[in-house]
Amino acid sequence: MIAIAKVFGTSLDQDNFELTASVLSDDCIYIIGTDTLTGPLAICNSYEENMLAGRKKLDELQWGESKITRINENQFHVHFTDYLTHQNKKYTHRCQQKLSINSLGKISEIEHIHDQEEQDRLDAYYRIVGLKE
């Protein structure tokens, strides 16, 4: 099961949304804040839109190498690191998502883990570089 989590993380690190979709169940849900997306297409479109918006807004956006930690036999945390640069100011953003993998070896649920302190730091960075008031 950890191999599926690794494919998920690596595929997103490489903007390979087709590969990401291949490890999601047809009824996979992605919980992000108060929103829930259902199905590989909606979920992968969300990841791709986020990537495109970030690269359009920032001078540079690079993904780090994701790391996987096991919660139990069927659940894992994927730790992502993003390297942002705008107006010659750099910021390292970290976030994590919790994956649940079903008995068929497909990801059935993705949950974005909200970290308010990290969100506050990211918001402060955006204000410093003039991308947020």
DSSP string, 25-64: EEEEEEEETTEEEESHHHHHHHHHHHHHHHHHHSSEEEE-
Summarised one tens digit per residue, pLDDT across range 74-112 is 999 999 999 999 999 999 999 999 999 999 999 999 999
Report pTM: 0.94
pLDDT at 133: 85
Residue 26, pLDDT above cutoff 90: yes
Average pLDDT rounded to a whole number, residues 43-53: 97
Determine the 3-state secondary structure of 74 from DSSP. Answer: coil
Fold of 2-128: Nuclear Transport Factor 2; Chain: A, (3.10.450)
Domain locations in the chain? 2-128
């009824």: which residue's tokens?
27
Distance CA 115, CA 62 (A): 21
CB 36, CB 30: distance < 8 Å: yes
Average pLDDT rounded to a whole number, residues 35-61: 97
Average pLDDT rounded to a whole number, residues 25-41: 97
Of 41 and 133, the structure prediction assigns the larger pLDDT to: 41
